[in-house]
Amino acid sequence: MRKHAVKDAMKHAWRGYSAYAYGKDEVLPVTKGWNSKWGGWGVTLIDSLDTLYIMGMKSEFKRARNFVADIDFTKTIEGHHTSVFETTIRVLGGLLGAYELSGDELFLKKAVEIADVLMPSFHTSSGIPYPYIDINSQSPIDSNSTNIAEIGTLQLEFHKLSFLTKNLDYYEKTELIIDILEKSKKPIKGLYPILVDINTKELSGKISVGARGDSFYEYLLKLYIMHGKNKNKYREMYEEFVDSFSQHIVYRSNDDSKMAFMVELDGETLEPIGIMEHLYPKTFVIACFMPGLLALGSKELNRPKDLELAKDLMKTCYYTYKMMPTGLGPESIEFEFDTSTLKTTNKKTIRLNVNKNSSKKGEFEPSFSIHKPEYILRPETVESLMILYRITENEIYQEWGWEIFSAIEKYTKTPIAYSAYDNVANTNKINSWSNSMESFFLGETLKYLYLLFSPVDYISLDKYVFNTEAHPLKIIK
């Protein structure tokens, strides 16, 4: 069965991590070494706990649990700047996910420990947290600027911790951020410029559902769900976002494929980035978590149109894998616009460079060029496939996921683990391994693949929301 093949992949990665890097942050999957790039607490181990649990890897889970018991979260590598966002989603989220599934109080105790050493980062005049902190001295790293993803992707974890411990501080400190963002001035309703001034609370910069924007929007919907659908503020903010997203961010090709894709908007002109500046304007496909988010929102908020958009964007994300020689998806893609169509036809219609020769079954396949050629074992596309499958029960999403998993197996599997890949157009795998396996490969990518091939009620979407690092948090009834 397919889910067993995914479990075998997890076993392979875990064996390599255990043999060469147990308790370290990451294993180096080619040179068989390890790194401490996250401060040295063992982020891969913590990020993997609930994946081990979900896959029934009981002895591995138990051993990892005992390792966690001895982690001292008050100390880190000398001089290390700890990211508040990454630590929240991977470490706090990982511990809470393990607690929610196993009920083992140790994980809750450790979750409190890690949350508490992050709290000084909230000591600013505005209440907007600094992005980094020196854990050893408990001093935040001074900064004037942060972004909406870094401050708007803490709430699921801190709210859940508040609920479990009855300590309101975790809730209030992170909820204040949502209040600030709700009241902030936005050029388009529901769309937030990504940069945040920590002192003035003002937003600036581009509008993007890609890096530095993405998971803030994700948390609006998931907060509404996790709080048992009784805090309408989150729903309103999410619905405003999706309405403007559909109107301003999604573009379609004007060929028969009507392929949907996403752009970023210039914060001043509110035009898609690229259109105004270049002779041959380009934009990038980004944010393949969006199909899953739209599908989840469509189910939870009864918005059937969102599901149709989710399906269209899912297809585009899938093609970014399918059309590459390795079957792995690049970090980002360029579409070339035909600007003349912008002036003469509906502004929302952009002609893609369509490669008719590669059409199959009467469908056009858009021809992309690669912008950033690496695949770093990211989860977003398989995450969306899992949600689309669970909501539609259309097996095509399992087929697409299987194709992607097969490409991961074929090209990124090293003798001891899995490796990020330099160039998805290069089928010479040995030359392409970049000797890195991020913790999200075990925490997210393999977990979502496993769930994609599991019965739809296993770790059901009716009982759990997944934080942005795929850690399941129980919906509060």
Catalytic residues: 86, 214, 331, 380
Nearer CB in complex with ligand DMJ: 87/215: 215
Binding characters for ligand DMJ, 54-93, by CB under 6 A (x = yes): -----------------------------------x----
- Cα distance between residue 319 and residue 2, in whole Å: 21
440 in Cβ contact with 47 (< 8 Å): yes
Q: Is 468 in the site for ligand DMJ (CB under 6 A)?
A: yes
Other CB atoms within 10 Å distance of the CB of residue 272: 22
- Cα distance between residue 410 and residue 427, in whole Å: 10
Token pair in block for residue 256:
């028969």
Q: Is 374 in the site for ligand DMJ (CB under 6 A)?
A: no
Segment contacting ligand DMJ by CB under 6 A, of 200-208, 252-260, 363-371, 378-386: 378-386
Segment contacting ligand DMJ by CB under 6 A, of 113-121, 174-182, 318-326, 373-381: 373-381
Q: Is 157 in the site for ligand DMJ (CB under 6 A)?
A: no
Segment contacting ligand DMJ by CB under 6 A, of 174-182, 372-380, 422-430, 447-455: 372-380
Minimum distance between the CB of residue 468 and ligand DMJ, rounded to whole angstroms? 4
Other CB atoms within 10 Å distance of the CB of residue 232: 10
- 468 annotated to bind ligand: yes
Residues near 269 by beta carbon (within 8 Å), at least 6 away in sequence: 276
Which position among 38, 160, 469, 471 is part of the footprint of ligand DMJ (CB under 6 A)?
469
Nearer CB in complex with ligand DMJ: 86/306: 86
Q: Which residue is nearest to ligand DMJ (CB)?
A: 468
Segment contacting ligand DMJ by CB under 6 A, of 91-99, 220-228, 374-382, 455-463: 374-382
Residue type, 141: I
Give me the sign of the Cα torsion angle 459, 462, 463, 468.
positive
- Cα distance between residue 259 and residue 104, in whole Å: 47
Token pair in block for residue 261:
């894709």
Please give the full DSSP string across 352-405, using - where no structure is assigned.
--EEEEEEETTEEEE--EEEE--B----HHHHHHHHHHHHH--THHHHHHHHHH
Q: Is 215 in the site for ligand DMJ (CB under 6 A)?
A: yes
Q: From the annotation, which residues make up the binding site?
A: 468
Q: From the annotation, which residues make up the binding site for Ca(2+)?
A: 468
